Amino acid sequence: MLIDTYGRVATDLRVSLTDRCNLRCTYCMPEEGLQWLAKPDLLTDDEIVRLIDIAVRTLGITEVRFTGGEPLLRPGLVGIVERVAALDPRPQMSLTTNGIGLKRTATALKAAGLDRVNVSLDTLRPDVFKTLTRRDRHKDVLEGLEAAREADLNPVKVNSVLMPGLNENEAPDLLAWAVEHDYELRFIEQMPLDAQHGWKRDGMVTAGDILQSLRTRFDLTPEGSEIRGSAPAERWLVDGGPHRVGVIASVTRPFCSACDRTRLTADGQVRTCLFAREETDLRAALRSDASDEEIARIWRLAMWGKKAGAGLDDPSFVQPDRPMSAIGG
């Protein structure tokens, strides 16, 4: 298993398949984009599947989430999903995407074995979407969401980040829309993972702000910590249920003590936390013909050193060098 010195056991693996993205979200990367990883630096499809196999068979991983960048840009994605679905034991598989390519891939991903998707959508207004993402692709995301639901990649979860001066007042409208379309909406506090290092804590829309806004139109009943478990989102029943809304308060209500995640970057580095400044290289071990047992040993050692928390409440907090597009959400 992957246990750390605080007794936390990682069972959830986040796998970044690429650092590339077809959007330029203001809270993630600059308008001109970033210097992408060279192809030889990226893990191959075979290397990704081998690491996931080691994690599932040897290290106790039961859930795998494919992320990016934008994972739908990975040419071999459907094949990777199909191969991971054939592993024994078979992990639960999900994918976090901006939704732009889902209309053409949702059916194939479901057939390959993908269980569900999380789609990022921060606004219902095409003009605001264009401002936030610097791309005019709002319609494509909506169509991608519909395709995911029709392909039975359920529950279809929608992740939204609210930004001051842009979409901070849209929380009630987003929730009404999600309830109407049977999506599970989750608001995520903006985190300090932008390439420009422009994040400021005193300017963010907090979980408290979001809940106050939602309660102007909806009755929210807490679901309870016993149901939440190690999940990052606190959830509430909307008007008595069955629909739910979640809030991931990574900054103001950190959940580090219950964290059960380990992360693999697109270039084969283990990260113990989104906000970690250290990485452990598995790619080098893979390419030097290390055995599965040796790779598992390196991975265990990396997770043993996981810190108690992200340290966002520490005045000396230093933002990670890599933006979210390179780490995986």
Which residues lie below 8 Å from residue 296, measured CB to CB, with a gap of 6+? Answer: 54, 58, 59
**3-state per-residue secondary structure call for the chain:** CEECCCCCEECEEEEECCCCCCCCCCCCCCCCCCCCCCHHHCCCHHHHHHHHHHHHHHCCCCEEEEECCCHHHCCCHHHHHHHHHCCCCCCEEEEEECCCCHHHHHHHHHHHCCCEEEEECCCCCHHHHHHHHCCCCHHHHHHHHHHHHHCCCCCCEEEECCCCCCCCCCHHHHHHHHHHHCCEEEEECCCCCCCCCCCCHHHCCCHHHHHHHHCCCCCEEECCHHHHCCCCCEEEEECCCCCEEEEECCCCCCCHHHCCEEEECCCCEEECCCCCCCCEECHHHHHCCCCHHHHHHHHHHHHHCCCCCCCCCCCCCCCCCCCHHHHCC
Task: Report the binding-site residues for S-adenosyl-L-methionine.
Answer: 27, 69, 120, 191
Task: Report the binding-site residues for [4Fe-4S] cluster.
Answer: 21, 25, 28, 256, 259, 273
For residue 1, give Cα distances in angstroms to 15, 93, 110: 18, 19, 29
Task: Report the binding-site residues.
Answer: 14, 21, 25, 27-28, 65, 69, 96, 120, 157, 191, 256, 259, 261-263, 273
Task: Report the binding-site residues for GTP.
Answer: 14, 65, 96, 157, 261-263
Work out the number of other CB atoms within 10 angstroms of the CB of residue 295: 19
